A and B are shown apart, each in its own frame.
Chain A
Amino acid sequence: MTDLSIDLGFIKLKNPVIASSGTFGYGLEFAPFIDLNKLGGIVVKGLYFSPRPGNPPPRLVEAASGLINAVGLQGVGVKKFSEEILPELRKYNTAVIVNVCGERDEEYASVVEFLDKEEGISAYELNISCPNVDKDGVCPALNPETTFSVVSLVKKSSSRPIITKLSPNVTDIAEIALSAQEAGTDALSLVNTFLAMAVDVETRKPVLPNVFGGLSGPAIKPLVLRMVYQVVNRVKIPVIGIGGVLSAKDALEYLISGAKAVEVGTANLIDPEATVKIIDGLTEYCQKNGINKIESIIGTLKRS
């Protein structure tokens, strides 16, 4: 029997495959396709304190092996989530992680304070790529000081472990990672989407009314791998890799580069069975290569 379990220190995952926020709904939508109990974890769609309307359409445009989205974090808010969704999610034996959003630092704190009263959540993932209304719409993730300020406030407000999700739209991601670590985050997940755009050449307008959107999917994987590799060598806390994981091979590239786990995003939209297929593929790889414990391959990238 291959042991796929991963110990993040603050939680033990059945395997290193976690469904990524915004691409897995609230999790339950996937129950007709896969056994949710098989997953390492589920990160639910980003939650602000109150319901959010989201952006006007079109919200999506396809790029070469990628997807640009400007959904704008439409969502149900904490109250409806705890009353209607969480009781159903709790029935599954997998780590439920809530992706926490906020328009200002205090909103992130109020989301975790509200959810701290509810059973059945393993950790919070801080989505610090939300436009901040107190800082001219600039998101906290773009700067080490604003990252430090929101992470330390949430850490104080929360009784649960915190995973800080970094943005790739920065010059030196390791600097932001170190700042989040100093503020007390228990782990890092990287990355959120890359700022991107598309132009309609007939109308000469941006395809997305929002002008910018976030690029995800296979197109970003090489960039994120590089970032994960740069960060794991600088921090002491666990790092979760997110970007373009479609297959077990993609997941293995992240693990070998030093990520303790991966999140699978866009792949879920294309194949609702993607997560389970990746888990099966990891088992197959371990068996073929005589690996008893998948943890033993983490960070084993050979430089010569």
Chain B
Amino acid sequence: MIKDSQAQIIDKKSWNNYYLFKLESPRIATQAHPGQFIMIRISDHPYPLLRRPFSIHSKDEKSIDIFFQVSGLGTDILSQKIVHDTLDILGPLGKGFQVGANLKGKEVVAAGGGRGIAPLYFLAQELSSHGASVKVFYGGKSLKDIPLKEKFESEGFDLYCSTDDGSFGFKGFISDYLKAELEKFTPSRIFSCGPEEMMKKIAKFATEKDIPADFSLESIMGCGFGVCWGCVKRIRKNGEEEWVKICEEGPVFSSEEIIWAEYEK
């Protein structure tokens, strides 16, 4: 875990409400694994007060990318930063996805909705480099909410898109699209990140079909490095249910570990 108070924005792209920043931070880049995240200090002043968590979207030798959606004040301020600005970041944090050589030659799925796609690009790259064949399921409300479509395509990933309004690809939720496609093939593993309700649906049918699945959870984080106990989720650990700090032991957990919250209709 490294504190880099001088991570420079060396590239910036944007699509409507979505932003991609390349941050120069060689020490964090060297250590980063898919599914891990960084905490960004939004302001030098005490408002907004807390750092905000962002998944590591990809990396090279000296930099990491983040991909984010403006969802409130903090991300709004962040989106206005420009190339050459520096950010104070902590990372890499959390444990991330388990990507092993055991997936060589296997078919796997990475399914993400909205901003939840962020960690799945790095994951898909890593899975491919381990010899797995990756099908990426990418969903959003509308065509403008799946801005990374071309990026996944140009990397040669097998891409399945959905939009809630049918403006592109399958009309409906990405979880429904995946469920339908699973009639045709059975992956060795499913990796997912996105709205919790979407992940909960995927967990349900993955369990029914006996497909192992890992999910990257979100929660409000006070620190990101395990000291405030603010970020807990209900997790089954050694046979018992506990409130577990997802910043430290997660944010990725398997479907057997996660006790999903109830949602109102």
A-to-B contact residues, CB < 8 Å: 22-25, 29-30, 32-33, 45, 53-54, 56-62, 64-67, 69, 71, 74, 217-218, 246, 266, 268-273
The answer for the CA separation of A74 and B234 in the assembled complex, in Å, is 13
User: Which one, B47, B50, B219, B234, contacts A269 given CB within 8 A?
Assistant: B50
Q: Pick from B95-103, B150-158, B223-231 the stretch touching chain A.
A: B223-231
Interfacial chain B residues near A57, Cβ < 8 Å: 219-220, 231-233, 243
Q: Is the CB of B227 within 8 A of A25?
A: yes
| A interface majority secondary structure | loop
Q: Is the CB of B219 within 8 A of A58?
A: yes
Closest chain-B Cβ to A66's Cβ sits at a distance in Å of: 7
Q: Is the CB of B243 within 8 A of A269?
A: no
Q: Is the CB of A60 within 8 A of B230?
A: yes
Instruction: Report the nearest B residue to A59, measured CB to CB.
Output: B230
User: Which one, A33, A45, A67, A74, contacts B50 given CB within 8 A?
Assistant: A67
Q: Is the CB of B220 within 8 A of A269?
A: no
Q: Is the CB of B228 within 8 A of A74?
A: no
| B interface majority secondary structure | loop
The answer for the CA separation of A182 and B41 in the assembled complex, in Å, is 45
Q: Is the CB of B227 within 8 A of A54?
A: no
With an 8 A cutoff between CB atoms, is B3 at the interface? yes
The answer for the CA separation of A22 and B225 in the assembled complex, in Å, is 13
Chain B's interface size range is 20 to 34
Task: Give 18 A-B contacts (CB < 8 Å), ordered by A residue.
Answer: A23-B228, A25-B226, A25-B227, A32-B1, A54-B232, A56-B243, A58-B219, A59-B230, A60-B50, A60-B228, A60-B230, A62-B48, A64-B47, A66-B49, A74-B232, A218-B46, A269-B227, A270-B50
User: Assuming A62-B49, A62-B50, A266-B49, is B3 touching A272 (CB within 8 A)?
Assistant: yes
Instruction: Report the nearest A residue to B48, measured CB to CB.
Output: A62
Q: Is the CB of A54 within 8 A of B46?
A: no
Q: Is the CB of A53 within 8 A of B242?
A: yes
**Given A53-B242, A64-B47, 4 other A-B contacts at CB below 8 A?**
A29-B226, A60-B231, A62-B220, A71-B230
Closest chain-A Cβ to B132's Cβ sits at a distance in Å of: 33
The answer for the CA separation of A61 and B220 in the assembled complex, in Å, is 8
